[in-house]
Structure 1
Amino acid sequence: MKPLRRYSAENEPKAWLFLLPALIIIAVFNIYPLFKSFTMSFQSGSLLNQQFAGLSNYQTVLSDPVFHKAMKNTAIYAFMVVPIALVISLLLAWLVFEKIKFKGFFETVYFIPYVTSTVAIGIVFRYFFNTNYGIINYFLALFGLAPINWLNSIEMSIPTLIIFGVWSGLAFNIIILLAGLRNIDPEHYKIADMFGALNWEKFSRITLPQLIPTVTFLLTVNFIGAFKVYGQVYALFGGTAGIANSASTAVFYIYDKFHIAGRPGIAMAATVILFLLILLFTFIQNKIIAKVEK
């Protein structure tokens, strides 16, 4: 008599049959492009006539000052936008959760920018940042300050992009943080109230420690997204990377080399380098966060 096999969903052939459509889509649109990008990074020429070029594409990218500038801008953007947006999001989420009535309404209002086209929001922000009739310079004039050339100044391109990036990153963060706040056991706060804990003590000793997994998730996702920033640049500066490419980022550099310059090999080499840097940074970040959690 054969022994009864212990049931396990992942070992059932039918389970793989149901997963097959999703696996095919992932393989075609995620895994295959990844390997194709890697192979193309060692080739030169057009898409229809490629030849093996060894490491020449990587040498070109790594010696290109435009790529260095794009990576510098990307790093500045990521390390400014992510922490600033996360702190503001945490404050707003806590205010909505603790102090404001009609939470559902405000959650909807905060989530609307996340489901709105980045290009559409960028067009609106172009009007906000306009030197002559923008609303931001209008308010600066009320305080007697001179207008700022937000969009057509080499010095202001990255600060303008950072402001836009912080605002566009709030919606997703707030919704995720509100979900994290709801998962905190209310009994913790009742016990804290019994011992006369102040609001800031409850926040620092109960709320914040309980939100560490949520904050960890947001840091990882936001940093990866920040290193891949492209849509905000394209929308804010009207399809360019700012005046004299002053707001060029790593992905915009890849786009320019692939579609404008017609050099897919160099674009793919830059893609692989960016992928490896994101992978390395994510690994280091997870190690640091793991030590902090302990």
Structure 2
Amino acid sequence: MAGVVRRWLGRVGSYSAERQPRAWLLLLPALVCIGVFNVLPLVRVLVMAFQSGTLRHLRFAGWSNFVAVFADPSFVRALVNTGVFAVVTVPVGLVVSLMLAVAVDSGLRGSRVFEALLFVPYLTSVVAVGVVFRYLFNGDYGVVNYVLSLVGLGPFDFLNDPRLSMVTLCVFGVWLSLAFNIVILLSGLRAIDPMLYRVADLYGASAWERFSRITLPQLAPMITFLSIMDLINAFKVYTEVYVLFNGKPGVADSAVTAVFYVYDKFYVQGRYGQGMAAAVVLFMLILVFTLLQSLLVRRLSK
């Protein structure tokens, strides 16, 4: 009897879900969908990056597509604009989101109402929000110019001035990122043990010390997650440009981004190989910057 019990306990201790055929059978539908809709398109993009011609008659072209893409000034501008958008919107969006989340979590009167209002943009279509922002930034009757005129500034033609295209796009991008960031940060704030703040109060800690030594360290995992997700979304910016500038990348391509460049090459100009080559370059940049950012955040959080 004792031997049977030992053998049974040994089987239980060595149990592994990954080794069970039934587990893989249950995962098979999801794995098939991932393979068909995620892996195969990536492989197809990589193959087409080294081909030229029409979709029905593609032929091997070597590295010519990559050479043509890097020699195109429009692609260089697209990469620079995408980098500027990411560098501005990610940190600014996180800082503003953190300030608003702390304000909402502080228990001020009406904080629940503000929480609901701040979450509404996440439920709203980007296209609808873009139409509203087009009215707000209109150079003739926009609300933004009206507010600026109260302090003696403007008017500015935000949508038609090439020098202001990226400024307008960055403001729009920051506003769009607030809702999701605030929701995640609020969940992290409400998960912090209140006893930590009570002990800090007993030792006479200031508001800044409470924030820098308790709140920020506790929110480090959420901030890391949001910074990575916001960076990836910033590199993939397209819809914001399309709706804000009425289907164009700004005046004289002043707000062209990497994804917009890929769309234009593939669907408008019909240069499929160059479009996919640009997509591969963008994928590699996102991968490299995401890994670097993850390593940097982890080192700073230690």
- TM-score interval, smaller chain: over 0.9
Asked if 1:130 is matched to 2:138, the reply is: yes
Correspondence for 1:280? 288
Residues 80-128 of structure 1, C-alpha deviation per residue, up to 9 Å, x if partnerless?
0110010000000000001424554333221211121111100000000
Correspondence for 1:161? 169
Give the CA RMSD over aligned residues: 1.5
Query: Equivalent residue of 2:52, what SS?
Result: strand
1:131-280 equivalence runs, <5 A: 131-280=139-288
Among candidates 97, 100, 109, match of residue 92 of structure 1 = 100
Q: Distance in 2 between matches of 1:21 and 1:168?
A: 34
Asked if 1:60 is matched to 2:36, the reply is: no
Amino acid at match of 2:154: A
Residues 167-190 of structure 1, C-alpha deviation per residue, up to 9 Å, x if partnerless?
111001100100111111111101
Shift of 1:199: 1.1
Q: Distance in 2 between matches of 1:230 and 1:46?
A: 25
Query: Equivalent residue of 1:75, what SS?
Result: helix
- TM-score, length-scaled by structure 2: 0.94
Q: Distance in 2 between matches of 1:103 and 1:22?
A: 41
Among candidates 292, 297, 300, match of residue 292 of structure 1 = 300
Q: Distance in 1 between matches of 2:34 and 2:116?
A: 31
Among candidates 109, 122, 143, match of residue 114 of structure 1 = 122
Q: Distance in 2 between matches of 1:257 and 1:114?
A: 30
- Say whether the 8 Å CA contact 2:262–2:279 is kept in structure 1: yes
Asked if 1:34 is matched to 2:42, the reply is: yes
Among candidates 86, 91, 102, match of residue 83 of structure 1 = 91
Amino acid at match of 1:222: D
Residues 110-157 of structure 1, C-alpha deviation per residue, up to 9 Å, x if partnerless?
121112111110000000000111111111222232310000011000
Q: 1:96 to 1:272 in 2, by over 3 A?
A: same
Query: Equivalent residue of 2:163, what SS?
Result: coil
* Structure 1 residues not aligned, in runs of 5+: none
Amino acid at match of 2:269: A
Query: Equivalent residue of 1:51, what SS?
Result: strand
Q: Distance in 2 between matches of 1:275 and 1:212?
A: 27
Amino acid at match of 1:177: L
Residues 202-221 of structure 1, C-alpha deviation per residue, up to 9 Å, x if partnerless?
00110011111111111111
Aligned residue-pair number: 294
Q: Distance in 1 between matches of 2:297 and 2:71?
A: 33
* Structure 2 residues not aligned, in runs of 5+: none
Query: Equivalent residue of 2:162, what SS?
Result: coil
Query: Equivalent residue of 2:26, what SS?
Result: helix
More displaced, 241-250 or 96-105? 96-105
Shift of 1:10: 2.6
Amino acid at match of 1:273: V
Bigger Rg over Cα: 2
Amino acid at match of 2:44: K
- TM-score, length-scaled by structure 1: 0.96
More displaced, 263-272 or 101-110? 101-110
Query: Equivalent residue of 1:156, what SS?
Result: helix
Shift of 1:291: 1.5
